[in-house]
Amino acid sequence: MLKALFWIALAAALIALPHALSFSQQEILVFLTINVLLVASYRLLTLTGEWSLAHVVIMGVGAYASAFYTKEFGVFVPVSMLLGAVTAALVAMVLSYPLFRMKGFYFLIGSFAAGEIIRLLWKRFRDPFGGPKGLKGIEPMPDFSIGIYDFDFFEPVSYYYFAATVVAVCLWLMWRIERSPVGLTFHAVHWQDKLAQAAGVNVQAYRTLAFVIASGFAGLAGALMAHYIGTINPNSFDVEVMVFVLTWAIVGGTATFYGPILGCVVLTILNEIVLREMGFEQMRPLIYGAILILSILFLPNGLESLVERALKPFRRTPASGTPAGDAPPASPASDTP
């Protein structure tokens, strides 16, 4: 009952939220919603113990692909978004063959190299990628009405409702995947890969599967962004953006489903309300770096550990003494790159 009331209250708050914000804050809310999908998909990849530096580039693959399908073939925008996600997943599948011959630090560096190759190809070829300037005039979502509300997608509130609905469905799917036998196998591959392999689990296949699924969701996030801002370029998906995603995940924590989302929300609020308003936006990389170091030193399990500690007295414990509903942590501080 309490859970149902919590979710109803949360949904009501999210629906009312944009009407309490200014226009610029509403636009920030749209990007935050898309980034929640991006960082949640990144956590799905980390369930197998691998950390990639190509995830933002894979997001860009979805953005470029969706924009290309609408500009060149006139594909209906919602369909092109799904095709962009599929394209990102297919590119990830191709990349998985060389990348998953490596593990740990070598996988991290290999993923960075693969991502940079893709990004430099976007810069090199004006046709069809637009070269350094990227693609402009990307088709927006077509307006429609559902009777009680008219969706005008040039307005951030309408796009927020659309993006929030898509992201909510994706988060539910990722949550179900993690709690399925496939998700439990991802955890086993991370924590006991030798034992899992001895039990007949194809470790490389499951790592590839996590990489492909996470990339599909990241590609959808890229498509959502592309059709909102109407323009994309290679610099939108460089390593600096990837560092921000890593920071969200590490500061939030990856042991729970909501940890990276919490990190993304808290650091976005810090950036937009504190740093921008106080004129420290140019120092954002420095401040983010300091936050990352302090988090690893003094809060190695992320912000989620504070939430778990606060909720612990309210959790019912079974006879074994293990809190009900706990899942094996996805990645402790020692696993972070």
Question: Between residues 137 and 273, which one has the greater pLDDT?
Answer: 137
pLDDT for res 331: 43
| Structure confidence at residue 317 as a pLDDT band (50, 70, 90) | low
Model confidence pLDDT, tens digit, residues 85-130: 999 999 999 999 999 888 888 999 999 999 999 999 999 988 888 8
Give the tens place of pLDDT for each residue, 141-194. 887 777 777 777 888 999 999 999 999 999 999 999 999 999 999 999 988 888
Spatial separation of the C-alpha atoms in residues 79 and 133, rounded to whole Å: 25
Q: pLDDT value at position 326?
A: 44
3-state class (DSSP) for residue 135: strand
Strand partners, 144: 151
Which residues does 229 contact at the CB level (< 8 Å), separation at least 6?
Answer: 138
pLDDT at 6 over 50: yes
- Provide the pLDDT for residue 30: 95
**Is the pLDDT higher at 327 or at 233?**
233
Question: Which neighbouring-strand residues pair with 259?
Answer: none
On the question of pLDDT at 48 being above 60, the answer is yes
Write the CB contacts of 297 (distance below 8 Å, at least 6 apart in sequence). none
**Cα 68 to Cα 73: distance, rounded to the nearest angstrom:** 8
* pTM, full prediction: 0.89
- What's the pLDDT score for residue 143? 78
Radius of gyration of the chain (CA): 20
Q: What's residue 174's pLDDT? A: 96
Where along the chain do its domains lie? 23-335
Q: Find out whether the peptide bond into 313 is cis, omega within 30 degrees of 0.
A: no
Residue 150, beta-bridge partner list = 145
64-73 burial, b for 16+ CB within 10 Å, e for fewer? Answer: bbbbbbbbee
Give the three-state DSSP class for 145.
strand
pLDDT of residue 318: 53
* Ramachandran category for residue 21: left, alpha or beta (phi over 0 → left; psi -120 to 50 → alpha): beta
Residue 259's region, left for phi above 0, alpha for psi from -120 to 50, else beta, is alpha
pLDDT score at 316: 66
Q: Which of 332, 37, 39, 337 is nearest to 190 (CA)?
A: 332
Give the type of residue at 317: T
In this prediction, residues 209-236 reach a mean pLDDT of 95
Beta bridge partners of 257: none
| Segment 270-282, tens digit of pLDDT | 887 777 777 777 7
Arithmetic mean of pLDDT, 55-59: 96
pLDDT at 234: 93
Q: Mean of the per-residue pLDDT values for the chain?
A: 87
